Amino acid sequence: MTSGMWDYGKADGYAPGTDLTGYRVEAEDGHIGKIDRHTEDVDSAHIVVDTGPWIFGREVLLPAGTIRRVDTGERTVWVNRTKDEVKNSPEYDKDRHTSDPDYHRTIGSYYGGAI
């Protein structure tokens, strides 16, 4: 696993216990959707973003380490990835994301390679 990829340690403004559900998500180059789910699980913290009409019908999993800033007043999360990086990410599989170590490594490697 990529060190720090699966925790909120580098996210400016993040406070443990904050419910990020419904927050707007901004990539480096624009809006990508809203947080549908999130977790603070040790070594697996992440957000699941509903991309809405931008990538119709698709959800994406972003490791917590991709979050650079959280603004609770604006209910917005900024990630350190471009829209294309998010769009080209591995397909989110809700049944495998926590139970399959290979899937977890694939997601971590995809996002970890660009840090």
Q: Is the dihedral of CA 95, 32, 12, 106 positive or negative?
A: positive
pLDDT tens-digit profile of 50-77?
998 877 778 999 999 999 999 999 999 9
The pLDDT value recorded for residue 57 is 75
Q: CATH code for 24-112? A: 2.30.30
Burial of 106 (0-12, 13-18, 19+ CB in 10 A): middle
Question: In this model, does residue 103 exceed pLDDT 80?
Answer: yes
User: Of 57, 56, 76, nearest to 14 (Cα)?
Assistant: 76
Average per-residue pLDDT for the chain: 90
Query: pTM of the prediction?
Result: 0.90
Residue 51: both structure tokens together: 């991309």
Q: Rounded distance, CA 65 to CA 48, Å?
A: 13
Residue 36: both structure tokens together: 């549908």
- Per domain, the residue ranges of the chain are 24-112
The pLDDT value recorded for residue 96 is 84
Q: What are the φ and ψ backbone dihedral angles of 18, each rounded to 5 degrees?
A: -70, 130
